[in-house]
Amino acid sequence: MKFIFIVQGEGRGHMTQAIALSTILAEQGHEVSHVLIGKSKRRQLPEFVRKNLKAPITQFESPNFHTDNKGKSINLFKTITKNILRSQKFIHSFQIIDRVIKADQPNIIINFYDMLAGLYNFTFRPKAAFWTIGHQYLIYHSSFPFAPNSLIQKKMFQFNTAITALGADKLLALSFRDYPKSAQKKLIVIPPVLRSEIHNLTTTEGDYILSYIVNPGYAEEIISFGKENPEIKIEAFWDQKDSEKVYHPHSNITFHQIDDHKFLEKMANCKGLICTAGFESVCEAMYLGKQVMMVPVSGQYEQACNAIDAQNAQAGLAHHSFDFKLFSDYLNSCTKNDQSFIKWQQQLPKMIEKIIEYPNSSSFQ
């Protein structure tokens, strides 16, 4: 089979999933002929993405979240209005996507949660099958735990997810754990797509808590806390463009620029991980047997749901701030992760093989 990937450019999770899935497909004899990735002015395309994706990469303008002035919470009004003002650029993006797909003639297009990909599939009706992949598609499962008390944000999350999946033939829902078979025939719950490097790491328990921050505004919280609690050692990763490669704001605090290999090595040897409540980093920590404190980005309802779902899967605990003291106390008293997540995740290659081989089936266990 020939595949084309369309990948949302916000954060690193969707891009690392694309890298890992392309490796699995190549090992099974398939080809990823092209990868289209949405642009973000806030972030550069990480070098590890260019290095690890073997297919040609084309970037295009795509809708992005916009934060408040401190770079911490999502500003929904700013997100909506700024993306509306960029609509002309999105029309050009449709042309870029269409040109690549017509040139490559793929059998299957896989969308890693990009809105324009869903709109493209609905509008242009390409001949290829259209599949979506992401943790977000678990919302179509009756057992998914929605965060309470945020009806408008819930509806917007559902709307955004529906746009990414317009006309989809399959919804591949990545999950922290197995779910019962869904009544929704297009929905297939599968394990997380993790990079192959993680399977070869040796874990130890070091003397530091690791942190990964998507929005640099959280750095202020980390620095402030570290200065007040010098006994707790913190190592953090960020993508602050104008910062040095390794930055030491205090004797017990180290910031590293995003580096995929270094991050995994640090995670394998940390006491535990504090991060925003995305999906990818939490799964990597679970695979390595590390507990996680998840801090949902304010205004990002999807992350509030992720935190609940991850807690239910015994990944760690959800909290409203980067409270390293609370997390340190938690790590001293919690039970270590068992092997159930590893067993679940290792089923992925065989499930992908069966999904491709039997595209009309809805059961792959």
Q: How confident is the model at residue 242 (pLDDT cuts 50, 70, 90)?
A: confident
DSSP string, 173-223: EE-SS--PPPS-TTEEEE-----GGGGGPPP---SEEEEE-SSTTHHHHHH
- State the CB neighbour count (10 A cutoff) for residue 199: 11
Closest CA to 136 of 117, 162, 116, 118: 162
Structure letter (DSSP) for residue 109: E
Residues 155 and 208 in one domain: no
* Complete DSSP assignment for 74-107: B-HHHHHHHHHHTHHHHHHHHHHHHHHHHHH--S
Q: Does residue 362 fall inside a structural domain?
A: no
The CA-based dihedral angle spanning residues 287, 254, 226, 315, taken in that order and rounded to the nearest 10 degrees: -10
Instruction: For residues 32 and 122, state if they share a domain.
Output: yes
Same-domain pairing of 275 and 311: yes
Spatial distance between the Cα atoms of 170 and 172, rounded to a whole number of angstroms: 6
What domain range is 271 assigned to? Answer: 197-334
Tell me which H or E stretch contains 332.
helix 324-333
User: Under the phi-then-psi rule, with left for phi > 0, alpha for psi from -120 to 50, and beta for the rest, what region is 258?
Assistant: beta
Sequential DSSP letters for 218-264:
HHHHHHHHHHH-TTSEEEEEE--TTS-SEEEEETTEEEEE--HHHHH
Whether the Cβ atoms of residue 161 and residue 173 lie closer than 8 Å to each other: no
**Spacing of C-alpha 330 from chain mean position:** 25
Strand partners, 34: 4
When pLDDT is cut at 50, 70 and 90, the band that residue 72 belongs to is low
**What is the distance of C-alpha 269 from the center of its chain?**
22
CB 285 within 8 A of CB 176: no
Checking 106-110 for CB contacts under 8 A at 24+ apart, the result is 106/2, 106/3, 106/4, 106/33, 106/34, 107/1, 107/2, 107/3, 108/1, 108/2, 108/3, 108/4, 108/356, 109/3, 109/4, 109/5, 109/6, 110/3, 110/4, 110/5, 110/6, 110/21
Number of domains in the chain: 2
* Stretch 208-224: mean pLDDT: 85
Instruction: Give CA–CA dist 288/130, Å, rounded.
Output: 33
Asked whether residue 189 falls in the same domain as residue 274, the answer is no
306 in any annotated domain: yes
Joined tokens for residue 205: 């328990």
* pLDDT for res 309: 96
339 in any annotated domain: no
Report the first-to-last Cα separation within the chain, whole angstroms. 22
Checking phi first, is residue 3 left (phi over 0); if not, alpha (psi -120 to 50) or beta?
beta
Q: Is the dihedral of CA 291, 277, 250, 258 positive or negative?
A: positive
Residues 267 and 239 in one domain: yes
Identify the three-state secondary structure at position 156.
Answer: helix
Taking only the tens place, the pLDDT of each residue in 165-203 is 999 999 999 999 999 989 899 999 999 999 889 999 999
Q: Is residue 280 situated within a structural domain?
A: yes
| Chain segment 316-352, per-residue pLDDT in tens | 999 998 899 999 999 998 877 678 999 999 999 999 9
Check whether residue 151 and residue 210 sit in a common domain. Answer: no
134 and 32 in a common domain: yes
Q: What is the pLDDT of residue 62?
A: 81
Of 149 and 209, the one with more pLDDT: 209
Average pLDDT on 29-42 reads 89
Asked if residue 201 and residue 189 are part of one domain, the reply reads: no
Average pLDDT over residues 97-120: 96
Distance CA 112, CA 118 (A): 10
Q: Which CATH number goes with the domain that contains 329?
A: 3.40.50.2000
Q: How sure is the predictor about 12, in pLDDT bands with cuts at 50, 70 and 90? A: confident
Same domain? 17 vs 87: yes
Considering the domain architecture, whether residues 189 and 207 belong to the same structural domain is answered as: no
Q: How much is the pTM?
A: 0.87
Q: Is residue 363 part of a domain?
A: no
Q: Are residues 22 and 129 in the same domain?
A: yes
Q: What per-residue confidence (pLDDT) applies to 300?
A: 86
Is residue 86's pLDDT more than 90? no
Give Rg (Cα) of the chain.
20
In angstroms, the Cα distances linking 220 to 2, 65, 216 are 45, 21, 8
Q: Length of the chain, please?
A: 365
Assess if residue 365 is contained within a domain.
no
Q: What is the mean pLDDT of residues 138-166?
A: 93
Sequence-distant (≥ 6) Cβ neighbours of residue 348 within 8 angstroms = 24, 190, 191, 192, 193
pLDDT band at 77 (very low <50, low <70, confident <90, very high): low
Residues 248 and 138 in one domain: no
Residue 43 is predicted with a pLDDT of 67
pLDDT at 5 over 80: yes
